[in-house]
Amino acid sequence: MSTSSGLSVPARGTLADLLPETFLVDAALVVGAACFVGLLAQLQIHLSWTPVPITGQTLGVLLAGSALGWKRGSIAMAFYLAAGMIGMPWYAGHASGWSVATGATGGYLFGFIIAAAVCGLIAEQGNDRRILSTMGSMIVGNAIIYACGVTWLAHTLGVGLSKAVSLGLTPFLLGDVIKVVLAALILPGTWRLVGKLRTKQ
């Protein structure tokens, strides 16, 4: 079966579904995705007026969820969260520990799990094959992350929701637009490459 674009790729499923379905492959994908997010977490810019830094984490989360599917994607982000809690220094700024996971930015970390699952579900329906539908998925994923992150930020700082939005959402919108565009190019572009490789076989 091929997609409506004529590529020799499945109409449904994720990029990870193209690989052999074994425990070792799944484990490697989960750990690899967590490491990918941990690596992007170190690309950060600190802002003086908010405890939330600008990082590349969200791009990694949304790509991982879409590429792995809801189950492997959410497990990967749960592993990222749990390993960071017990000492793996791969939160932003090489941070780790329970205090970080439950601190001001903890809501974003928990939101990663939900966002990866939702983006994975959307991708499993074949909606990561085209730029516009991929952008829609990335926007939904970002909205989930911010809903969790901003709500928890308001709670931990003891501020109102509008203040939490100004601290934990508005400073990052421009960067997120860039990330959404990047993801919308990377995922469909990868599927096109897969299709070209398969047609040559």
Q: Find the CATH number of the domain harbouring 160.
A: 1.10.1760.20
What pLDDT score does 83 carry?
97
Assigned domain for 120 exists: yes
Residue 5 has pLDDT above 60, yes or no: no
Closest Cα partner for 61 from 130, 115, 132, 133? Answer: 115
Assigned domain for 107 exists: yes
pLDDT band at 42 (very low <50, low <70, confident <90, very high): very high
Q: What does pLDDT average to over the chain? A: 92
The mean pLDDT value for 11-17 works out to: 91
DSSP-assigned letters across all residues of 77-124: HHHHHHHHHTT---BGGGB-SHHHHTSTTHHHHHHHHHHHHHHHHHHH
Q: What is the pLDDT of residues 52-73, one digit of tens each?
A: 999 999 999 999 999 999 999 9
The mean pLDDT value for 119-131 works out to: 95
Residue-range definition of the domain harbouring residue 38: 15-192
Assigned domain for 104 exists: yes
Confidence (pTM): 0.91
Beta bridge partners of 55: 44
Closest Cα partner for 53 from 100, 110, 3? Answer: 100
Assigned domain for 134 exists: yes
Q: Which residue has the tokens 């600008």?
A: 54
Residue 1 has pLDDT above 50, yes or no: no
The number of angstroms, rounded, from the C-alpha of 117 to the middle of its chain's C-alpha atoms is 9
Assigned domain for 9 exists: no
Assigned domain for 198 exists: no
In this structure, are residues 62 and 183 in contact, taking their beta carbons and an 8 Å threshold?
yes
Residue 151 has pLDDT above 60, yes or no: yes
Assigned domain for 92 exists: yes
How many domains does the structure of the chain reveal?
Answer: 1
The number of angstroms, rounded, from the C-alpha of 35 to the middle of its chain's C-alpha atoms is 12
Assigned domain for 108 exists: yes
Residue 120 has pLDDT above 50, yes or no: yes
Closest Cα partner for 101 from 116, 86, 118? Answer: 86
